[in-house]
Amino acid sequence: MTRFDPTELIHHPYQAPAGFAAPQLGVYKASTVMFPNVAALRQRDWRFKDGYTYGLHGTPTTFALEERIATLEGGSQCVLVPSGLAAVALVDLALLSPGDEVLLPDNVYGPSLELARTDLARWGITHRLYDPLDAAGLAALVTPNTKLLWLEAAGSVTMEFPDLAGLVQAARAAGVTTAIDNTWGAGIALRPFELGIDIVMQALTKFPSGGGDVLMGSVTTRSAALHERIKLAHMHLGYGVAGNDAELLLRSLPSLALRYHAHDATARALAEWLATRPEISRVLHPALPGCPGHAYWRAQCTAAAGLFSVMVDERYSQAQVDAFVDALRLFKIGYSWAGPVSLAVPYDLSGMRGGRPPYPGTLVRLAIGLESEAALRADLVQALRALD
């Protein structure tokens, strides 16, 4: 018998016809990308999307996703990274040098502050916290070393909505580049470039994925010069995303707006109802009057994410609040949000908002999934009994 030669499987002559048309793009995966000849290899410039160099620098699947995220955000160029936090780090590393200072809101996403406190500090980059509701106070914090202002709307966990227009105006007047963590707005509730923000970062892990099963981040720009700085840092750091993950995002994006509004409607109904409950002293949802920054939310947003926090009244101990969270059945205990499953997490406020916890009681963050409002409300009703 002749021995099968695998070469013909590796160099197979069959070429599928071009022009395959279907609702979803194919998934392209590669480390190696092949060039027709040496001249083509030498001519390729890996900075641009007019061809392919190496899997890390893009495939048809990741290029298509980058273009769609740029469209979603209203920007011109986008780069993909393996997580939302990697997107924050990429912006910091691309724009900051030793001696520079970055300003962070005092309700910034925790790991972003942790990066500033540890590695950025080690590289001689300082940070300062600012009050996102006090745009007038920002100018006093800016020095010649201030190179980057991070914005986040709404803020993490305590959900205050910043005066974006005022903060951006103050930063622009001082010549400081602005970047927003737009994970909450997801390209739906808020149009950051229309407010004059320079860089829009998003954890695609949340709404654009919507499945609770993909980690990815994006950094979108309108300015070609800013994009080039970010793209170069992206390449130097070796950031890339997997084709199958990009495919999941491409499949989820068409339903993004529908899902966003569904999460929003259920969350707002539950937030309004929780505000009437005697066990809850405060509901922190930017679309509810009385939430700090509500007027800025109303002026700048057309929707809200399905994410809010409640302050359980201070007459209940931490152990009682933990028992309430443990008693939830449909709400699962876990980080992240914007997937189908509702989630609850109790947070310790003591290290937040620059060490000045602003609200008495115990904070529980609720991420509303896609279950029915009635089922989630019934779950909260039965779990609240665990407080007594």
Interface with ligand PLP by CB under 6 A: which residues? 83-85, 109, 156, 181, 183, 203, 205-206, 215, 217, 336
Contacts of 151 (CB under 8 A, 6+ apart): 105, 132, 162, 164, 167, 168, 178, 179, 180, 181, 192, 197
Closest separation between CB of residue 83 and ligand PLP, Å? 3
Question: Smaller CB distance to ligand PLP: residue 83 or 362?
Answer: 83
Order the strands of the 146-152 sheet from edge to edge: 77-81, 217-221, 199-203, 177-181, 146-152, 101-105, 126-130
Report CA Rg, the chain: 23
User: How do 343-347 and 332-333 pair as beta strands?
Assistant: parallel
Residue 368 has φ and ψ, to the nearest 5°, of -85, 125
Angle between helices 224-237 and 84-95 (to 10 degrees): 110
Question: Smaller CB distance to ligand PLP: residue 107 or 281?
Answer: 107
Question: Smaller CB distance to ligand PLP: residue 117 or 315?
Answer: 117
Question: Smaller CB distance to ligand PLP: residue 75 or 105?
Answer: 105
How far is the C-alpha of 380 from the C-alpha of 284, rounded, in Å? 17
According to DSSP, residue 117 is labeled I
Closest separation between CB of residue 170 and ligand PLP, Å? 22
Closest separation between CB of residue 217 and ligand PLP, Å? 6
How far is the C-alpha of 306 from the C-alpha of 325, rounded, in Å? 18
Contacts of 181 (CB under 8 A, 6+ apart): 84, 88, 108, 109, 112, 150, 151, 152, 201, 202, 203
Question: Smaller CB distance to ligand PLP: residue 208 or 243?
Answer: 208
Question: Smaller CB distance to ligand PLP: residue 281 or 342?
Answer: 342
Residue 311 has φ and ψ, to the nearest 5°, of -95, 115
Please list, residue by residue across 306-315, b when 16 or more beta carbons sit within 10 angstroms of its beta carbon and e when fewer do: bbbbbbbbee
Closest separation between CB of residue 278 and ligand PLP, Å? 30
Question: Smaller CB distance to ligand PLP: residue 85 or 250?
Answer: 85
Closest separation between CB of residue 164 and ligand PLP, Å? 15
Closest separation between CB of residue 99 and ligand PLP, Å? 26
How far is the C-alpha of 282 from the C-alpha of 2, rounded, in Å? 78
Q: Of all residues in this chain, which one has the CB nearest to ligand PLP in the complex?
A: 84
Question: Smaller CB distance to ligand PLP: residue 206 or 285?
Answer: 206
